[in-house]
Amino acid sequence: MARSNVLKPEALKPDAREALAGRGGKTAPMAVPVRKKRKRRVLERYSAIMLAGFILLLWQILVPLSGLSEFILPTPAAIVARIVEDFPLLAMHGYVTLFEVLAGFGLGVLIGVPLALAIFYSPPFQSAVYPLLVALQTVPKVALAPLLVLYLGYGWAPKITLAFLIALFPIVIGTVVGLQSLDRNLVDLTRSMGASEWQTFRKVRLPAALPNIFGGCKVAISLSVIGAVIGEYVAAERGLGYLQLQANAQFDTTLNFASVAAISALGVTLFFILSFIESKVVFRRDTAR
């Protein structure tokens, strides 16, 4: 009788039996790393939300247990309820702060990027301007706010100017560092191919500098929120900073926390909007290679 060429499952090694079982409809061992990667991606994506939820839950539990009244430290549930109740009020003041932030940040981009180009292309200009920028950055913006109100009045100008001044430095530094980080050999290669300085800048320098430029802009947009709110603390009739001062004067701690939450949500939203734009504009370096 001829020997059968079909091996019995019992005669196979353990690894081969698992692979054979995988063909029969069960999960193959190779699918396990893929599943782990998916779980890791989900965990990385939602880790911030999970951590924030844990902190809020701990806050919600510990405040009643500690015996603190909501006048001293309101619970997250009370703050959320106050946000829902006074949402039109928060939205009205939030629009004012948003305009101040965007105006100051826009001025920072319109002035900061050309200023960085002048610093990069002109060493004498860099030697003259760089120390002034550093000196301006080291001055506390709270100290400048009363002077800006004195010179510019109580309107939009002092808040927008303060947001602009606090956002200018990271935009300039990010742009200059991005332009300087380009490999010199790549510039020489484009020059040897007959490219002009404008073509080299448009095709090589600017794309290579965009990650650093967006990095500076993301820092600047967060600082612009701080600058606008500081300006509202000094002199304002509208805005989230003004609303927080009014809540503090009336000993309304819950509204005070609601204003802080609105300010934080504004900064986080603007930061992630810039991150989304960056993901659509900037090629990652590994993709570029």
For each of the domains in the chain, give its residue range(s) and CATH number, in order of start.
11-66 (no CATH), 76-288 (1.10.3720.10)
| Residue environment code for 23-60, b if the CB has 16+ CB neighbours within 10 A, otherwise e | eeeeeeeeeeeeeeeeeeeeeeeeeeeeeeeeeeeeee
Return averaged pLDDT per consecutive 10 residues of the chain, 289 residues in all: 47 48 49 65 73 86 82 88 91 93 94 92 88 87 84 86 92 91 76 76 83 92 92 86 89 90 93 90 55
For position 111, what pLDDT does the model report? 94
For position 27, what pLDDT does the model report? 47
For position 286, what pLDDT does the model report? 42
The region that residue 101 occupies, defined by phi over 0 for left and psi between -120 and 50 for alpha, beta otherwise, is alpha
Q: What is the DSSP string of 160-173?
A: HHHHHHHHHHHHHH
Kindly calculate the radius of gyration of the chain based on its CA atoms and give it in whole angstroms.
Answer: 28
Beta-carbon contacts of residue 274 (< 8 Å; ≥ 6 apart): 214, 217, 218, 221
For position 287, what pLDDT does the model report? 41
Amino acid (one-letter) located at 118 = A
The rounded distance, in Å, linking the Cα atoms of 203 and 111 is: 22
The rounded distance, in Å, linking the Cα atoms of 199 and 191 is: 9
